[in-house]
């Protein structure tokens, strides 16, 4: 994957993934998921700017669509 510049300061961004230590099921939950079982969508990719600290996160859009439609 090609490195994208930071949207804030145009510095090259570092790519990685989100990690919540101690929990294996953290991720994104839509407000449209109103059921008892709110299955999180895993954040598959994250990018952080080493210059300003901006972080952007990406999940699997296909996986999210299945949960909110």
Q: Which residues bind Zn ion (CB under 5 A)?
A: 6, 8-9, 11, 49, 51-52, 54
Query: Which residue's CB is nearer to Zn ion, number 29 or number 52?
Result: 52
What lies within 8 Å, CB to CB, of 65 at 6+ separation is: none
Query: Which residue's CB is nearer to Zn ion, number 13 or number 27?
Result: 13
How many residues in total does the chain contain?
Answer: 69
Query: Which residue's CB is nearer to Zn ion, number 5 or number 61?
Result: 5
Cα–Cα distance measured from residue 29 to residue 61, given in angstroms and rounded to the nearest whole number: 12
- Smallest distance, Zn ion to C-beta of residue 52, A: 3
């Amino acid at each position: 994957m090609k490195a994208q510049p930071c949207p804030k300061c145009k510095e090259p961004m570092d790519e990685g993934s989100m990690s919540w230590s101690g929990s294996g099921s953290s991720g994104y939950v839509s407000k449209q998921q109103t059921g008892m079982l709110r299955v999180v969508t895993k954040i598959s990719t994250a990018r952080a700017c080493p210059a300003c600290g901006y972080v952007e996160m990406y999940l699997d859009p296909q996986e999210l669509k299945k949960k909110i439609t």
